[in-house]
Structure 1
């Protein structure tokens, strides 16, 4: 009798994965990083989001919801182990030790520095030492600029002002409240374009601001918390499936198509002369 019961238990345990419900997972997204990741109405939108939706729809055993949140709040959720994953952080393991796992790189981005003309009257070739004394705008929670930049900020030779989103930073830049603004170049152009459509910027933006020579290549990832204390035991399987499907989308051209279609459909024209290092080929 005991052997029969053990056999039944063994059979049931073997079949359980077939019967088990999908694991419900919440992934957080930046709500203010257009055109890559932003909030449209009550829902997540953007280039990364379209990629994520395809990947999540093909993953087996998971039902994934995407929830847009302010970037700094998303990082805090991972830091406290309350949130499972967030996109699209850059890979800063020293600054964000609470992110245990990163996906493979999803999109290549180019970070640029846009400055007021007066701030670039002096030759500024070397980053960050040539920018001492200036105030640089950043989106809240962003860690752009590199190690030497943040050392200069810590030492007080460069000032940083954080604001919630692209638009608020660009308004401050156009009004002369900050000297430069550091962010991805397509994201800056996207926001300026929308501001122009709403008559929120000068007719000729290039008369007020322009690119500096600074450019930095970055990549966006899906970041997974390491502070969950076993709350998310499935994270390695989740990430393995994610990376496999991500590579498939890269190989078949889906990601390139999403990027190109998204920018064209949303009229992401440039309203500043193209930075020589960021011009699309």
Structure 2
């Protein structure tokens, strides 16, 4: 008797091959889907988590914060703050520049989140927080050579009684004693929005003296193309003090910036690292070298 032939193995082998092929396709598809998800899902999450931040700065405070010839934000503080936020990928930074006085008014009224680079002042108790100090600046008084030669100038502002001073609108760099003398009529004050305008007043003899930060004055003289011969008619007569520039954060009555304090904390951390590593100093050197 011939043994029965059971021909099931080929069929089984065929089914197994198809199943294997299907399983291979399914596994490949699954792997491809997982790969796509591993790439795309985090990207979407990151994009959703990026917080847009607008920092307002001065529009005419060379070399610190101003608008360049193309209307783009420029200056040392802009470079430093951009470099800092570049290390904070959770934020998307944009700058807007306005005149100093308008910027401080907008900040005080809660219409903007932050403004740079005002100095720390006791009479600005409405400022809710400041960043860590960013740059040290030297405030000086400069006067015409004629005024210097005709007056005994030893103590600022006491020895400047009767002087005509230029001042950037909204600036209080000359100190409270100075402005008390202005209020008492002992010093005459003329204000303009820009350093260049005030330097023109000084060189034209319209005022006797001008107070501003030393590097801002030098940048203004360079902007006006004042040569060495002309500059000899101007003398630095007093060092009024050292000041630090900050990012100031004002009130938020409408809760428009719920991320403000976290951003300020993160910014402070990065600015400290940049200061301690010497990166801020390097950015200043590179700015003037350029």
Per-residue deviation at 1:63? Answer: 1.6
Per-residue deviation at 1:101? Answer: 0.8
The structure having more radius of gyration, on CA atoms, is 2
1:48 equivalenced with 2:80 (yes/no): no
Aligned to 1:131: 160
Aligned to 2:50: 22
What are the Cα deviations for residues 152-201 of structure 1, in whole angstroms up to 9, with x where unaligned?
A: 111111122110101100000000011111111111111112212xxxx4
Aligned to 1:226: 251
Q: Is the 8 A contact 1:51 1:258 kept in 2?
A: yes
1:115 equivalenced with 2:143 (yes/no): yes
Aligned to 1:255: 280
Whose helix fraction is larger, Structure 1's or Structure 2's?
2
- Mapping of residues 96-111 of structure 1, within 5 Å: 96-111=124-139
Task: Describe the shift of the 1:229–1:186 C-alpha distance in structure 2 as closer, same or farther (beyond 3 A).
Answer: same
Q: Hey, what's the Cα distance between the residues in 2 that align with 1:163 and 1:131? A: 20
Report the TM-score, using the length of structure 1 for normalisation.
0.82
What are the Cα deviations for residues 175-230 of structure 1, in whole angstroms up to 9, with x where unaligned?
A: 0011111111111111112212xxxx465123321110333111100001125342
The correspondence for 2:94, drawn from 65, 90, 96, is 65
Q: Hey, what's the Cα distance between the residues in 1 that align with 2:195 and 2:246? A: 20
Q: Hey, what's the Cα distance between the residues in 1 that align with 2:280 and 2:222? A: 23
Q: Is the 8 A contact 2:169 2:193 kept in 1?
A: yes
| 1:81 match: secondary structure | coil
| 2:236 match: secondary structure | strand
Per-residue deviation at 1:123? Answer: 1.0
Q: Is the 8 A contact 2:156 2:240 kept in 1?
A: no
Q: Hey, what's the Cα distance between the residues in 2 that align with 1:128 and 1:156? A: 13
Q: Is the 8 A contact 1:138 1:162 kept in 2?
A: yes
Aligned to 2:16: none
The correspondence for 2:265, drawn from 240, 247, 252, is 240
Give structure 2 stretches of 5+ with no counterpart: 1-44
Per-residue deviation at 1:59? Answer: 2.0
What are the Cα deviations for residues 235-263 of structure 1, in whole angstroms up to 9, with x where unaligned?
A: 21111100100011111111111111111
Aligned to 2:30: none
Aligned to 1:173: 202
Per-residue deviation at 1:61? Answer: 2.9
Q: Hey, what's the Cα distance between the residues in 2 that align with 1:92 and 1:228? A: 22
Q: Hey, what's the Cα distance between the residues in 2 that align with 1:18 and 1:54? A: 20
Task: Describe the shift of the 1:20–1:168 C-alpha distance in structure 2 as closer, same or farther (beyond 3 A).
Answer: same
Per-residue deviation at 1:20? Answer: 4.0
| 2:66 match: secondary structure | strand
Report the TM-score, using the length of structure 2 for normalisation.
0.80
How many residues end up aligned between the 2 structures? 245
Aligned to 1:140: 169
What are the Cα deviations for residues 14-64 of structure 1, in whole angstroms up to 9, with x where unaligned?
A: xxx868432222110111111111101221101110001011122243222
Q: Is the 8 A contact 2:142 2:238 kept in 1?
A: no
